[in-house]
Structures are given as C-alpha cells and as structure tokens.
Structure 1
Amino acid sequence: MSLRIGFTGDVMLGRLVDDRQHDRSVDAVWGNTLERLRGLDGLVSNLECVLSTRGREWTRTHRPFHFRADPDWAVPALERAGVDACALANNHVLDYEAAALRDTLAALDEAGIARAGAGETIDEALEPAAFTIGGSDTELDVAMISLTDNTPEYAADENSPGTARVEFDVETTETRQRVAAALERARGTDPDLLVASLHWGPNMVTEPPESFREFGRWLVEHGVDIVHGHSAHVFQGIEIHDGSPIVYDAGDFVDDYAVDDDLRNDRSFLFVLAVTADGRPTELRLHPTQIDDYAVHEARPGAAAWSRDRMRELSEPFGTEFDRDGETLVLPLDDGEPDGND
C-alpha cells in the first residue's frame, strides 16, 4: 500500500490574501483544491509569511515587502487543508521582527503542525520537523530539514532568532558540515522518509544554477528522498537522481503577487509523492494549479496545458520525461519507463 504526501510551493497568506479572508470562509483560500488536499495522507508547505498581528516591520535593512497573516483565520485554514509541516527557512519570517516569529512558532506548535527552518537560535532552526502521515492501516514517519540562502540579515545564530541559513555550495566546507549535521539529526528521528525543503535562489528565474544541481544530488546521495525547492515564484524543472526527485522550484501556490504575463507565476502544481509503506518513493504526480481571487484553484484546461508543456520543456535538459493522466503529469520513480504520451 502506498501513501501520498503533497508538497506545495509558497503559501503567502498576508496582505491582500489576509484582507480577503476576513470576508469569506476560512477554507476559501484553498478554492476548489480543498478536497484534493484533504484527501492526501500528508501535506508540506513553504509558509511565506508570519502568523501574527504583533510586531513592527523590519527596517534595519531595506525590505520592500512584509508579509503577515492573522492567525485567527490562517491557522484554522492550514488545519482545514491538512497541512502537516511548514518550512520556515525563507526571507519573510522576520518581516515583523522577533515578536511575530515567536507568535508563528507558538501558533504552529499549538495547532500540532510540525515546523523546521526557523527558531529562537540556530540550533532550533536546524531542528528537523518530525511528523507521521497516514492512518490506522499504514503510517509513515517523516523528517524534514528546512534551509535557505536568502536574506543574510534574517539568519539565526547562537543567541538570536531567525532562519537556518547556508550557502548552497557543496564545495563550501561550512555548508557540508552544517547540512550533514542537520541530516544526522533528522535521521536520528528514525524516519521512513527524509525531506529537504530549500528556499534558494532569486525570484523569477526559470532554471537552477549548476551549484544547486550539485547540491541537490549531494543531498540525495546523503539519504534525502525528495528535495522540495522553492523561492523563484515560478516552477522549475524536475531531475531524478538515484530514484529520488529533485523539485528545483515548486513555484507559488497561493499569494497576492502581480503576475508576469510570460513567466506566469500564478501557475504551478500540487506535487504529490507516492511512497511505499517502507518509505520508497514510487511516483510523483503533478496536479496543475492556478491562483485567482487570492486563492488557489485547480487549473483551467488552457492553463493546465501551458503548465504541462512548460514543465516538460524545463525538465527535458535533465532527461526527465512524464506520462500523463488526464490533466495531471505523472513521473514514475521505480524501474518502469514512462511512455511519454501526451
């Protein structure tokens, strides 16, 4: 029996999303994807905002955008979607200084939503999220580390709160040592599935640099079962290394951002990994999504076709080929060969 764990790109619940949510139901932000989300055995998201009504905007360095959502609706919305874990290592967790970050950590903890990537100190930020998916018949223990190379001023240290920040370069000794130690801590939870959620690189870039490719492959070779990348606001291609998918960027899942007519940062996928009871990934399914009215929806046929074609184009340099099942792209991860039909 397989379990299905979903991965989303950026979930930004602040600004206009927050404003709109005060006039509609808690779960409206998930649009018509809610049933699919709730039908999964597990769900992981990059939370691209703080959950707080406190704090003051970060002004110590220039920050053009500040994202904050009211936890009174945002936490129940995450619960309604069945979010099991949030990656917090990103460039917005200190947008409203330490008070709002602390509120975020407390809100997720109270809701029983696992989190990794940010904390009161670098030691806490590097602590893996450990959670269990599935039900009474089959359960799977998951561990996730969350790292970023964004916003050096938001990095945690031994005495200050912030993110788990590294340079994503396997040639850097400090990076290898810090990430290897984080992976060792994650393995110490005895997981069936090991996830690395990485907020890396600049915005609106459609291809990963070679250093990210090397780092992604290094992670897989050190036991990571799926690399869950995000940060660019547009999805990037997928590479399979030793049977494990490297999703270089999952794009945006829900936000209020201006849309680039060429790059279409309002379009992406819900990435659903099928995993055997002993933790072996067997298939990755990509369900096309699009953002409309500050909510995420199943993509309309034209948008879905654009996203499928774009994903195939971006993944082709990695030798990655997809099957298709209706509107969904299917990527087998076992020994079977995709038939490449359209």
Structure 2
Amino acid sequence: MASNTITLFLAGDVMTGRGVDQILPHPGAAKLREGYIRDAHDYVALAEAANGPIPHPVDPVWPWGDALAIIGEAGPDVRVVNLETSVTGDGTFAPDKGIHYRMHPDNIGCLTVAGLDVCVLANNHVLDFGIAGLTETLVVLHAAGLRTAGAGQHAAQARQPAEVDTGHGRVLVFSAGLASSGISPANAAGPDLPGLAFLPDLSTDTAAQFVGHVQEIKRDRDLTVASLHWGTNWGYEVPRGHVRFARWLVDGGIDVVHGHSSHHPRPLEIYRGRPILYGCGDLINDYEGIGGYQQFRDDLRLLYFATLDARSRELLELRLVPVRARRMRLERATPDDGEWLRRVLSDASAGFGTRISLAGDGSLSVGVP
C-alpha cells in the first residue's frame, strides 16, 4: 500500500460461538438455554439442511472461506471486526438473556488466521457468560496478539482505544455500545467494575464527551475510528438520532464511523469526506437455515475496504466486496447477488446522496465526492 494512504478492512458481527464453535476443532459445551433450541448442534443441522453437509471438525480457516483471499489481495493496513461472542470455557450463563454465544479458547485460531488487528467488544454478547467469561475473553485475545477496544476490567480500560501503528500514522479504534442494540446498562463498566464502554444516549453532551476523550488521546496524523454497536437487527431505515450523532462525531474529528448490530448491511454516507457505515451487517455466524427474514438476504455479507489519505484523513476510496454464507463458510457472491446488493443499498442510501456502482470484478464502489 502506498505510504501516503491507509486502508482499513472493516466488517460487522463475527459470531464464532454456538454452531460455528461446534464445527471447529475444539468445540465447547453445546448446551444452550434458548426457547426452542437447547443444543448448538441443531444450528449446524439447520445449515446442512439448507445448503448441504458440513465436514467437521473443520480447519480454522473454514468459516472465512474465500474472504481470506479477498482480504489478502486488498492488503489492508488494519483489520477491524466486531467480535460478538465471548471466548471462554468458564463463566455461567448470564441470566435474563435468551441467547448466549461462547467460543472455546482453543478455537482462537479461527480469529488469528484472518490476521485481525482489532476486535471491538462493546456489544450485547461479549458478557453472555458474565464477568468471568469477559475476563477470560480479554486474556485469550491479548495472548493471541489481538488488540481489543470497548471492554475492560474497569471503565478507563474499556474506553481506551486499540492502537495500531501502520508505519505512516497510528490508527486508533474506539468502541462503544448503546441500549438500542440490546446491551443492558447494567453491563457498563464502572470505576472498579468490569464491563463495556456504554453510551447512555445520543445527545450532544454524550457526543461531546466521546469526542473530548478522543481528542485527549489523539495526536497529529492519527486516524480515528468510532466503532458503535447500535440499532435494531432488521430494516434499512436509519434513525435520525444515529445520523445526527455520527455527523457530530465527524464534526469533532472522527475519521470513520463503523456501525454494526444489524443482521444485514444498512445505508452508507460520505459526510465531509469521511465514511459513515450505519450498519455493516453480519459477517460470520450460524444463522443459515433460520427463516423469517428472507427479504433482507442475510446470507449476503460485505467486506468493507476504506482507503484514506494518511495526512488529510479524507476518504479516497470505499470498496465493498460481496460474499455469501453457505455451509457456515464465506464464498464469493455471484454477479446477480452483487447487483441485488448494489440496488438495495443504493435505494436505501439515496437520501444521503450516496452513489454505488457494480465494478467489473463484482465489488461495489461507493462514489467519493
């Protein structure tokens, strides 16, 4: 990559627990406490019923499939995902939750194989197995060389950004979550309490506090990312409060707003030369074969590549590569799938003046003003 640019790989929810964990070499306990499914193997069976048998145990590269080559070819300087599962063999099921995600620590290769730099953790599943589960998650990720943001043993640690030195500027990734994504305010980290970086609302005061914290840490030439877990699971409408808040962050010096929580991609905006991704959608999970929301095509996933000027931090290129989940593995999407995503995202993003075109290689190109 040219020394005057920084390219980020960004993705939404990576959920390697439950059914995905069961096909990996070191599956943890399969017992669940859900209303209808009590064994994680049933999610594997649903996927197999939809698209064919899954060989297991699979190699840790399996869930990433064709995405690994796509990411490698893009050569990003920094790779960031929302890790929406605890990584633990410890802890007890968090009460008053209908769904719990847990990946066995010995399956950490499923994350390291993708060369991830940052796992953001301020989401509604990293505390599925309580503080003990969160503590082990942090220990396992850090021991594997993965940086984290958005969770910690106390509030100050949870609010600290993940720092990646690209050689031509630092990238600082700040992570926070909101109740609209299903995070309980009780999961917020305190002065001496483990937990998450939690935003109580989308007010101007909250935005000012977030920006003020960033400015205290940021140095010249740092590129800053605000990774926010917010919003509901389905639908293309972006709440007005999200738009205002994201723009306030950009006005305050944030260079990239990386939103996630929705199960499918949501609209995109280029605001003052900075990308705002209101919802990146899922990337890896065990949802295959689950019906009810087929109109959103949640089998289609996107890999986001944002290239920014290393000095001005203005967006130079935003490229989205469609992939499809089949047999709990990501494979290259078909041209028809790419065109479907282009049309749907273009319609959903039209109110922001965003233009999206389908390139000859099957990727989606977002017009940069």
Give the TM-score, by structure 1 length. Answer: 0.90
The C-alpha deviation readout for 1:291-321, integer Å capped at 9, x for no partner, is: 2222222222332221111111111111111
Q: Partner residue of 1:11?
A: 14
Given that 1:168 and 1:212 are in contact with CA atoms closer than 8 Å, whether structure 2 keeps it comes out as: no
Please, what is the CA RMSD of the aligned residues? 1.7
In structure 1, what residue type is equivalent to 2:142? D
- 1:145 matched to 2:171? The reply is no
**Alignment partners' CA distance in 2, 1:269 and 1:88:** 20
Instruction: Note if contact 2:8-2:306 (Cα within 8 Å) is conserved in structure 1.
Output: yes
Match of 1:240 in 2: 270
Q: Map of 1:251-262 to 2, 5 A cutoff? A: 251-257=281-287, 258-259=290-291, 260-262=293-295
Residue of structure 1 aligned with 2:94, choices 24, 40, 58: 58
Q: Give the Cα–Cα distance (whole angstroms) in 1 for the partners of residues 200 and 262 of structure 2.
A: 16
Deviates more, 1:264-273 or 1:9-18: 264-273
Which amino acid letter does the alignment assign opposite residue 327 of structure 2?
A: D
Identify if the C-alpha distance between structure 1 residues 11 and 191 changes in structure 2 by more than 3 Å, giving closer, same or farther: farther
Report the equivalent of 2:338. Answer: 304
Q: Which residue of 2 aligns with 1:270?
A: 303
State which of 324, 327, 331 in structure 1 corresponds to 2:366.
331
1:294 maps to 328
Work out the CA distance in 1 between the residues paired with 2:330 and 2:154.
Answer: 33
Query: Which residue in 2 is equivalent to 1:338?
Result: none
Q: Which runs of 4+ in 1 moved over 4 A?
A: none
- 2:87 touches 2:137 (CA, 8 Å); kept in 1? yes
Provide the secondary structure at the position in 2 that maps to 1:105: helix
- TM-score (normalizing by structure 2): 0.83
CA contact (8 A) 2:94 2:129 kept: yes
User: Among 53, 73, 78, which residue is 2:111 paired with?
Assistant: 78
CA distance in 1, matches of 2:140, 2:348: 37
Give the CA deviation at 1:246. 0.5
Shift of residue 191 of structure 1? 5.1
SS in 2 for 1:81: coil
Q: Distance in 2 between matches of 1:246 and 1:325?
A: 21
Deviations 1:94-129 (A, max 9, x none): 100111111111122122221110111111110111
Match of 1:47 in 2: 83
Give the counterpart of 1:187 among 215, 218, 237: 218
Give distance in 1, aligned partners of 2:278 and 2:310: 26
One-letter amino acid of the counterpart of residue 290, structure 1:
R
Report if aligned partners of 1:282, 1:332 keep a CA contact under 8 Å in 2: no
Residue 229 of structure 2 corresponds to which residue in structure 1? 199
Q: Distance in 2 between matches of 1:291 and 1:182?
A: 38
C-alpha distance in 1, partners of 2:90/2:19?
18
Distance in 2 between residues matched to 1:87 and 1:128, nearest whole Å: 9
**Corresponding residue for residue 285 of structure 1:** 319
Pairs aligned (count): 324
Q: Deviations over 1:37-67 (max 9, x none)?
A: 23422210000001111111101xx211000
- Residue by residue over 1:262-311, the C-alpha shift from the partner in whole angstroms, topping out at 9 and shown as x without a partner, is 11222231010112343442110011122222222222233222111111
Distance 1:202 1:70 in 2: 28
Q: Which residues of structure 2 form unaligned runs of 5+?
A: 26-56
Equivalent in the alignment of 1:90: 123
For residue 128 of structure 1, the aligned residue among 161, 182, 199 is: 161
Tell me by how many angstroms 1:177 deviates.
4.5
| Alpha-carbon distance change, 55 to 191 in structure 1, aligned in 2, over 3 angstroms | farther
Counterpart secondary structure, 1:124: helix
Gaps of 5+ in 1: 336-342
Are the counterparts in 1 of residues 169 and 223 from structure 2 also a CA contact under 8 Å?
A: yes
Q: Which amino acid aligns with 1:309?
A: R
What percent of counterpart residues are identical?
A: 34
- Pick closer, same or farther for the CA change 1:141–1:132 going to 2, 3 Å: same
**Structure 2 counterpart of 1:184, which letter?**
Q
